[in-house]
Structure 1
Amino acid sequence: MTHPIRPFIVTHHLVFTLAAPMTLAYLTTPLLGVVDTAVVGRLGEAFMIGGLAVGAILVDVIFTTFNFLRSGTTGLTAQAYGREDETEIQATLLRSLIIGVASGIILLMLTPLLLSLGLYLMEPSETVAIATQQYVLIRMLGAPVTLGNYALLGWFIGLGRTRTGLLLQIALNGSNIILSIFLGLHLSLGIKGVAAATVISELLAFLLGLLICYPSLKCSTRPSWQRLLDRAALWRFANLNLDIMLRSFALLFAFAFFTTQGAYLGEQTLAANAVLMNFFMLASYFLDGLTSAAEQLAGRAIGANYRDGFMRSLKLTLGWNTVMASLLAMMLWFLGEPMIALITTLESVQTEAAQYLLLVALLPLTGVLAFQMDGIFIGATWSRDMSLMMLVSLGVYLATWWWLRDLANNGLWLALHVFLLVRGLTLSARLPVRIRQTFSQTK
Structure 2
Amino acid sequence: MPPPLTRRAIFAQAWPIMIGQASVPLVAIVDTAVIGQTGDAIALAGVALGSIVITFLFWTFGFLRMGMTGLTAQAEGAGDKGEVDAMLVRGVAAGFVIGAALFALQAVLTPLALALFAGGGALDEAARGYITARFFGAPAALGYFALVGWLFGLGATRRALALQVVMNLINAGLDILFVWHFDMGARGVGLGTAIAEWSALVLGIALCWGLLAPNIADRLKRPARLFAREAMGRLFSVNFDIMVRTIALLMLFAWFTNAGARLGPVQLGANLVLDQFILVAAYVLDAFAFTAESRVGMAIGRGSRAELLRAARLTGEFSLAAGIVFAAAILIAGNPVIDLLTSNEAVREAAYPYIWLVALIPLLGMPAWLLDGIFIGATRGAALRNAAILATACYIATDLLLRPWGATGLWAAMLASYLFRAAFLGLYLPGLLRSVPDRLAEARRAL
Classify the TM-score, shorter chain: 0.7 to 0.9
Alpha-carbon distance change, 269 to 203 in structure 1, aligned in 2, over 3 angstroms: closer
Confirm or deny: 8 A CA contact 2:119 2:261 kept in the other structure: no
- Residue 351 to residue 88, structure 1, CA distance change in 2 (3 Å): same
In the TM superposition, residue 272 of structure 1 has moved relative to its aligned partner by 4.8
Q: Structure 1 residues 341 and 387 mapped into 2: Cα distance closer, same or farther (>3 Å)? A: same
Cα deviations across residues 199-246 of structure 1 (Å, max 9, x unaligned)?
Answer: 333222212111111122224475864542344432332123222221
Structural mapping, 1:36-115, within 5 Å = 36=31, 52=47, 54-115=49-110
Quick one: structure 1 residues 258 and 101, their matched pair in 2 at CA, closer, same or farther if it must change by over 3 Å? closer
Cα distance change on mapping 1:415 and 1:116 into 2, 3 Å: closer
2:445 alignment counterpart = none
Q: Is the 8 A contact 2:92 2:143 kept in 1?
A: yes
Structure 2 Cα separation of the partners of residues 392 and 167 of structure 1: 37
Between the two proteins, the alignment pairs up a number of residues equal to: 438
AA matched with 2:298: R
Pick aligned residue for 1:325 from 316, 323, 326 = 323
Q: Distance in 1 between matches of 2:439 and 2:64?
A: 30
1:340–1:246 CA distance, 2 compared to 1 (3 A):
same
What TM-score does the superposition give when structure 2 sets the normalisation length?
0.86
Q: Which amino acid aligns with 1:415?
A: A
Q: 2:146 aligns with which of 143, 151, 156?
A: 151
Which whole-Å deviations, capped at 9, do the CAs of 1:256-315 have from their partners, x for residues lacking one?
323434455667765554443332222112211111111111111111212221111100
Query: Whole-Å Cα distance in 1 between the matches of residues 401 and 121 of structure 2?
Result: 39
Secondary structure of the corresponding residue to residue 310 of structure 1: helix
Greater CA deviation, 126-135 or 76-85?
126-135
Mapping of residues 148-297 of structure 1, within 5 Å: 148-182=143-177, 195-220=190-215, 222=219, 225=223, 227-264=225-262, 272-297=270-295
Q: Does 1:311 align with 2:303?
A: no
Shifted more, 87-96 versus 30-39: the winner is 30-39
Q: Which runs of 5+ in 1 are unaligned?
A: 1-5
Please give the alpha-carbon distance, in whole angstroms, between the structure 2 residues aligned to 1:413 and 1:129. 24
Q: What's the C-alpha RMSD, in Å, of the aligned pairs?
A: 3.2
CA contact (8 A) 1:240 1:384 kept: no
Alpha-carbon distance in structure 2 between the residues aligned to 1:121 and 1:386: 25
Task: Determine the structure 1 residue equivalent to 2:22.
Answer: 27
How much does 1:377 deviate?
Answer: 0.7
SS state at 1:218 partner: coil
Query: C-alpha deviations, 1:160-192, integer Å up to 9, x for none?
Result: 011111101111121233344456666777766
Cα shift at 1:139: 3.1
**1:59-90 Cα distance to aligned partner (Å, 9 max, x none):** 33321222111111111111111111100101
Change (3 A) 1:139 1:344: closer
Give me the whole-angstrom Cα distance separating, in 2, the residues matched to 1:127 and 1:78.
47
Q: Contact between 1:7 and 1:306, CA under 8 Å: does it hold in 2?
A: no
- For 2:363, give the aligned amino acid: L
Q: Distance in 1 between matches of 2:73 and 2:142?
A: 20
**TM value normalised by structure 1:** 0.86
Give the gaps of 5 or more residues in structure 2: 443-447
Question: Match of 1:10?
Answer: 5
- How far apart, CA to CA, are the structure 1 residues paired with 2:401 and 2:187? 46
Which moves more between the two structures, 47-56 or 147-156? 47-56
